[in-house]
Each structure stands twice: as C-alpha cells, then as structure tokens.
Amino acid sequence: MKLRVLSYNIHKCIGGVDRRYEPTRICEVIRKLDADILMLQEVDAGVARSKRDQQVEVLGEELGLPYRSWFPNVDVRGGGQYGNAILSRYPLIESSNIDLSIRFKKKRSALHAVLRVRHDNVDRTVHVYNMHLGLARYERKIQLQKFLDCHPFAHLHHDTPVVVGGDLNDVYGGLGELLAPSGFRGIERRPLTFPAWGPVRALDAIFVRGDVDFMRLSRCDSDLARRASDHRPIVAEVSLRPHHAAHADGHSHKPPAPRP
C-alpha cells in the first residue's frame, strides 16, 4: 500500500518574501500534493499576526483532513503559541509530545501520533514523529539522542512502521547518520528546501523504519510554494507492508523463558 507523507514548515502561513498572512496559499500548495499524512511545523494558535486563528483547525477543515493533533512549543509575546501539527486522512488513535528542549535554548519537541491505516490487504498501526530541531549543530545532536532514548520510541518493535520527519534544520546534512544505527532509512540526496524562493539548504527531511519502504522523496516546485512560506514542502512516497507478525505493531516483547 502506498502512502504520501508531507513535511512542511508553514511559517505561520506567512509568506517568506511578501510577509502576507494567507492560509489559503498554504492550503492550495498542500492540496495539489495529495498527501495522506501531513507533518507541519510553526503552526500558530491564538496569535495576533495570524488573526488569532487556530491554524490546525483552519487548515484541517479547508483540506478535509478530519484527524488532527497540535502541540504548542513557543509562547508568543502578546498572546498565543506556535508548535507542531499532524493531520491525517487515517484515524488518529492517540498523540503525545516529546520534549526535546535544551536549557537556555528555544523550546523544541517531537509530536508523536499513532495512526491506524486500513486499506485493501493492509491494516497497520503507524507511528509518526514530527520534529522541529534547534539551530545549533550540537543542539540538534543532543535533541536527536533524546528522541532515540525516549520511552515511547525505544520500546517499539523493530518491524513497527515508523515515520520521522520535519524541519530538522540539518544545515550540514549529517543527521541521517545519527538515525541510521537505530534502523532509520532515508534518501541520501535530499531536496533543497530553504529559503523557499531559492533553496540552498536541505533543512527538511523524512526518514522511515520498520515495515515501510522508501520509494521517492520530492520537493514541491510550484510558483505558489516559492511564496507561501519560507520553506518548500517535501513529500515522501512510501510503501507500507502488510502485517506479517502478531507483535509487529506493538512494543517489543521478550521471548518466553524456557521451561525447566
């Protein structure tokens, strides 16, 4: 079964060049990409610059995506917050937030959503982690290690389908090497995504683990995507394998002790 997974720093729906607040532009960019699962960063709620909109609800309603989760990371002066969001065509069973913040640095996190994907011969639980990492290289390394050590991730079975992505601020392109020992796979030459009007850095990424096969990773190059945010969106086309083990979608299990 094929899935299309999008990662997009929407910059609060404010254009990277014209600085205009236009959520309809973001919706139009996303709609044409026909994604099943959205990982969005810098999503406002109750902030004056975005008309006090609850952006996860505005975008979800406009795009017809009924399953949504949002968690605030940063308090905005004057009221409101912004954070990460996950929107999906498939039922969202539960969600939680993993704090990746480092002392004296801006708050960062990974939003975790557990989705149930049913289609044809596939019926799987899929774990999605949407990250927005820090600006300093040492900060990103610490944050990724905190993620890999966190309780909900560390106890997943190695076959469980997992998608990790977001705005990793991966200026030097080395974060995939930190994820690889834990079984994550990605595309070696990732698309350049920042700044949107003329990308020179591959700051955004998507990785998979478990019963998920990477097919393609592409960047949106529409004229609207150049103006709608300060990042370009990327879309991963992945293939989700059918369930083949009784415990593949749950937590890891120890084998039973031998009988005396």
**CATH number of the structural domain spanning residue 70:** 3.60.10.10
**Span 3-15, mean pLDDT?**
98
Q: Is 6 inside any structural domain?
A: yes
pLDDT, average across residues 238-244: 88
**Count of domains forming the chain:** 1
Dihedral through CA 211, CA 64, CA 119, CA 5, nearest 10?
-20
- Residue pLDDT, tens place only, 103-147: 889 999 999 999 999 987 889 999 999 999 999 999 999 999 999
Computed over every residue of the chain, the mean pLDDT equals 92
- Residue 260's pLDDT is 34
The pLDDT of residue 250 is 58
* Rounded Cα–Cα distance for residues 22 and 161 (Å): 35
The reported pTM is: 0.92
Instruction: Render 153-191 in DSSP notation, one character per residue.
Output: HHTB-TTS-EEEEEE---TTS-HHHHHGGGT-B--SSPP
Cβ-based burial of 54 (10 A; exposed 0-12, middle 13-18, buried ≥19): middle
16 lies in some domain: yes
Domain that includes residue 65, residue range: 2-240
Residue 254 falls within a domain, yes or no?
no
pLDDT given for residue 119 in this prediction: 84
Q: Is 44 a residue whose pLDDT tops 90?
A: yes
Residue 139: inside a domain: yes
Neighbours of 96 (CB within 10 A): 12
pLDDT score at 200: 96
